[in-house]
Amino acid sequence: MKKAFAGVLASATLLTSTLAHASGWPVFDAANFVKNTMTAAQALKTEIYENTNIVYQNRMMLNQLQQAVGLDAVSMAAQAKGIGEDIDKYQRYGQSLKDLYGSVADTADFLTNVQGLVAASGKSPDQWFRDQRKLLDTGDKTAKRLFGLGQAVTGNNQKLAKRRRDLQSDLDLNQTAQATAQLTNQMLDVMAGQNADLLQLIGAKTQADAVKDQRENADTAEKMAASEQLARQQADELQQLRRQVFNRGTLVGK
């Protein structure tokens, strides 16, 4: 299994390196993207299984300890507390693994959807992505929705992967669990790099558009502030004119 993962990882790393040095835009290889994403999902499933076994073993240890007789009560309580804390940690870690697996599955669905859209268009992947960039530039809702979904998927993957690593730093993993976790992390890193390439292809103009929108919003806010200031100034001048007219009327009356 490790050899299989290593082979996939080597080919995926080579692809990522090639993309980084490609001229202009990354090359979209949908089949490879989906394959690596599914491999990462399978790695997560393996790690979930390994983690479930560890939780089960700790529960067995706790059960045996609780049924033991003739042991020092203080020492037994301390050991039971430590095992219970380990169970809690592995359960939290296991939930993060399950959440991340769901997110990776969503990524696979997203990539498969993009692959289908490219195939249905009858265009080359490069031309299809060029068209998507033009549609984004003109504010096309469908293209924005597609890019937004890609952003959400990638952001969720990154968030859950970070949570997983934070929990992992608190765990005392055995050698098998460490090897499994390392392979999973490597596949998640490759997948994250490929997703970044895909989002670059889809949303080249989006960042520039966001900056443009921010500038337009700032200009609008500045114009509104100037308009409000002018309105206040006009109101003050009108109030001053009314006082002058009132004072003149009072003097004439006298």
Among 200, 126, 196, which Cα is nearest to 158's? 196
Residue-level pLDDT at 209: 52
- Residue 20 confidence (pLDDT) above 50: no
Most distant pair of Cα atoms in the chain: their distance:
114
- Residue 111 confidence (pLDDT) above 70: yes
- Residue 17 confidence (pLDDT) above 50: no
Task: Report the alpha-carbon distance of residue 96 to residue 159 in Å, rounded.
Answer: 10
Residue-level pLDDT at 193: 81
Model confidence pLDDT, tens digit, residues 166-201:
888 888 888 888 888 888 888 888 888 887 777 777
Residue-level pLDDT at 4: 42
- Its pTM stands at 0.62
- Residue 143 confidence (pLDDT) above 70: yes
Among left, alpha and beta (phi > 0; psi -120 to 50; other), residue 24 is left
- The model's confidence at residue 165, banded by pLDDT at 50, 70 and 90, is confident
Task: Report the alpha-carbon distance of residue 116 to residue 113 in Å, rounded.
Answer: 5
- Residue 101 confidence (pLDDT) above 80: yes
What's the Cα-to-Cα distance from 68 to each of 43, 58, 62, 75, rounded to whole Å?
A: 38, 15, 10, 12
Contact 129, 201 (CB under 8 A): yes
